[in-house]
Structure 1
């Protein structure tokens, strides 16, 4: 038997969404006894520069026995595909929702949906296929880890959501990869709004530059996460997907850090707040240093890099006994590993501070760089990125409302502004994992303070402080701009050149000097430039035509030239500007 949780877990690994055999979900996502016809308006805003943008909405229809659901191209008609007879069958309905020209908003209507995704593709349509299944069709979704996928070289992305009788919950997901900027805004029936700013329009390039810079520092292979197409950045993969392409990537990256953690907790005790019925549990490293044991519950072996980045294998896979408790503890340990805080904070996740995340040289730099590139620092960057102290600052980039009136999803960076919000979250058990579909978090309520909302619009040049701190080097590095045909030929070589010592030590200083000179000139106002030109021309005319009053020994003429800054005390001519 499979539950909603089971099929959604398979969706993340196999990119196939199927209907569960059990229609009731243990996390509260269930079909109502009486069919509920409640719907929600979703506004899709095209803030890209492309006239060819398509959206797709997929998920499981909660009030239709969790059947596989797509929305047809008119934005209102549900499409429940029939179970096909063969693998790779095409959809029988057009589900590509055209967004129109830049600046256009398209309103669509959705019913209650579990495991929902809103997909976007610029410049083309996406291909979804159907496979035969036991309880209905399996929807084969686009994949970034399969080079044979027809969507692999296209520009596409998605956000995740669940909409049920309890609430709307949505988040920006970077767990698999980063490609297109997506921003989320939900408006309640009371008029209150929540907003996640997402990436600015150049967010992907900022992230790729950051990965290149980090790899230049430690040589760990962060630049291998960058996927290009025709010389341009196409997407940045998460470390988990990077390891799929190169299973030796990051193989020994965490070894020394893990050994230090295991050594530290031989003589020190780690306290994990499960934020659930198990309360606080304590653990120590075993005497033989093979495991981190929690009394009466179980233990964790040393994780491998794939375990830490993916959070579902090896040390953090489900265990045969005390499964729920150990998964809960493992979530908090895994979050602390990715943020590299286990040696600085033995009370997890209590006492965690966002400012302490990713400060160790060995850390999840993909998550660090992606968070820094988002205008408000928020986004789901690894499977347990929503682990926070009780009442602490969320980092996963979600919006949630129990009575939503409208859900606005913006593509392209146009709504990339940071809104400061105060959230008070009721302390509830958190079985965080990637998205709402595996979480009790769907029941949480978020209240927002309106007395300290501040908007920061990157389109107007306002830079988020964290983005400025983390990405300043990459953002200001001069680049050689090539026409598109030359970029396709030489782009990959230029990328290697930018990361080389020759560029960093010799070429970059020259570019920087030229940039400062040009910036200094451009910083002068037009009025200041014209006034200086006028003074120079006026004085030169006096000097060349010998019409200035000269006085004794040309004294008056000399003073005029000196006052204009054209003569030094030794009688030679000079030009200077201030």
Structure 2
């Protein structure tokens, strides 16, 4: 069974954009019947009653490519322009107090949790039909910006259940997933008091403190960069040093169990195998590294994509100065002066050290991701904070 990392689960939906089915990896192998997989949400917040917690299940129906939401009875309802209320936004929330267990349809999507109020979605027309705009907690003008919320991501198909909690865009609520199937596993449970520590540690770092939005959330530095509250050159000294280093040294990268050797030629980091050029990368910007995009975009080509992921992970974790990559020893991560401290702080506050602090955090299995080919049920636990 292939590993469906977050890169394959959901790619897009940034900045309030329309999230569609493009890029989703589906597997024809039949292992279980996806329709009706029970989802349970457990309230252990200690401060919000279940009447005040809203659960929104949205996504793309895999059989048809239609976007929509899952109703309280587990039925999928395709998005319709009539879903938008007079204010222009749709509400798809179910009160947690009214939801003992929600049967999930076969779709790829998200489970949003919000406190006190329902989130606002928007049904819009696109070239390929109707699309759905998701809340974007990092966009100040988003109508859900002032609502405390967070989300998990999943793909539920006939090959299994694939899911993660993600901090790639933001961190709002401490919560973790338990997936029961061939075995029962829990991923990325936060330590006691983690949320307060994460907020406090971010505020202590001058370069990162503006990423803290009151007591609502911490937004990822890439989104902060786009908003003008995080330096667009923050990682440049580290990136420049690595490009200079590999003008005279060789960077060895093992990706998909294949070894490539890279050196900077002109302005590009060029990787060869047996003398033949297999991939090359222009010097990335700070934004490219934080978003794992731009010059570090990872096409699903089996060569350039896997190498790009290793490079992006090494640059975010501040370990690319080590000439053999990837670095599996997590104790070596985030020691560089210029590193992704947002990701570091979140990782340090989970019990198992797992988190999705950036898009390629699945390199060396550091991400808050689990899957099972024979799932029985999935539980999302909202932790005290």
TM-score interval, normalised by the smaller of the two chains: 0.7 to 0.9
Q: Displacement of 1:252 after TM fit? A: 2.9
* 2-structure distance, mates of 1:267, 1:355: 27
Q: Displacement of 1:206 after TM fit? A: 0.9
Q: Displacement of 1:8 after TM fit? A: 4.5
Aligned-partner SS, 2:126 = coil
| TM-aligned CA distance change 1:257 to 1:146, over 3 Å | closer
Aligned residue in 2 for 1:494: none
| TM-aligned CA distance change 1:128 to 1:211, over 3 Å | same
| TM-aligned CA distance change 1:89 to 1:6, over 3 Å | farther
TM-score scaled to structure 1, two decimals?
A: 0.59
Q: Displacement of 1:274 after TM fit? A: 1.6
Q: Does 1:330 align with 2:301?
A: no
The Cα offsets for residues 184-242 of structure 1, whole Å up to 9 and x where unpaired, read as 10111x5x210014324643321121112233xxxxx21011111xxxx2110111111
Aligned length: 370
Structure exhibiting the larger radius of gyration computed from Cα positions: 1
* 2-structure distance, mates of 1:30, 1:130: 30
* 2-structure distance, mates of 1:292, 1:132: 41
The Cα offsets for residues 358-381 of structure 1, whole Å up to 9 and x where unpaired, read as 111221111111111222211111
Q: Displacement of 1:85 after TM fit? A: 11
Q: Does 1:383 align with 2:378?
A: no
Q: Displacement of 1:265 after TM fit? A: 1.5
Q: Does 1:285 align with 2:264?
A: yes
Aligned residue in 2 for 1:369: 345
* 2-structure distance, mates of 1:53, 1:201: 21
Aligned residue in 2 for 1:308: 289
Aligned-partner SS, 2:313 = helix
Aligned residue in 1 for 2:3: none
Matching of residues 10-159 of structure 1 within 5 Å:
10-19=12-21, 27-29=25-27, 38-48=35-45, 49-51=47-49, 52-63=52-63, 65-72=64-71, 74-82=72-80, 89-91=88-90, 95-100=92-97, 106-114=100-108, 116-159=109-152
Aligned residue in 2 for 1:360: 336
Q: Does 1:223 align with 2:209?
A: yes
The Cα offsets for residues 131-187 of structure 1, whole Å up to 9 and x where unpaired, read as 012333111111123222210011000011111111111111000000111111011
Aligned residue in 1 for 2:227: 245
Aligned residue in 2 for 1:430: none
* 2-structure distance, mates of 1:37, 1:280: 38
Instruction: Note if contact 2:54-2:117 (Cα within 8 Å) is conserved in structure 1.
Output: yes
| TM-aligned CA distance change 1:168 to 1:318, over 3 Å | closer
* 2-structure distance, mates of 1:26, 1:14: 19
Aligned residue in 2 for 1:235: 217
Aligned-partner SS, 2:246 = helix
Q: Displacement of 1:6 after TM fit? A: 9.9
Q: Displacement of 1:327 after TM fit? A: 2.4
Instruction: Note if contact 1:56-1:70 (Cα within 8 Å) is conserved in structure 2.
Output: yes
Q: Does 1:407 align with 2:378?
A: yes
Aligned residue in 2 for 1:187: 180
Aligned-partner SS, 2:55 = strand
Q: Displacement of 1:96 after TM fit? A: 1.4
Q: Does 1:348 align with 2:328?
A: no
Aligned-partner SS, 2:370 = strand
Instruction: Note if contact 2:28-2:159 (Cα within 8 Å) is conserved in structure 1.
Output: no
Aligned residue in 2 for 1:199: 190
More strand by share: 2
Instruction: Note if contact 2:83-2:89 (Cα within 8 Å) is conserved in structure 1.
Output: no
* 1-structure distance, mates of 2:73, 2:315: 42
Q: What is the root-mean-square deviation of aligned Cα atoms in Å?
A: 2.8
Gaps of 5+ in 1: 216-220, 389-393, 415-578
Q: Displacement of 1:15 after TM fit? A: 3.2
Q: Does 1:395 align with 2:357?
A: no
Determine which structure has greater relative contact order: mean sequence separation of CA pairs < 8 Å that are 6+ residues apart, divided by chain length.
2
Q: Displacement of 1:37 after TM fit? A: 6.6
Aligned-partner SS, 1:147 = coil
| TM-aligned CA distance change 1:403 to 1:86, over 3 Å | closer
* 1-structure distance, mates of 2:190, 2:234: 28
| TM-aligned CA distance change 1:162 to 1:26, over 3 Å | closer
More helix by share: 1
* 2-structure distance, mates of 1:267, 1:200: 44
Aligned-partner SS, 1:106 = coil
| TM-aligned CA distance change 1:260 to 1:7, over 3 Å | closer
Aligned-partner SS, 1:338 = helix
TM-score scaled to structure 2, two decimals?
A: 0.87
| TM-aligned CA distance change 1:298 to 1:402, over 3 Å | closer
Gaps of 5+ in 2: 1-6
Instruction: Note if contact 2:61-2:106 (Cα within 8 Å) is conserved in structure 1.
Output: yes
Aligned-partner SS, 2:287 = helix
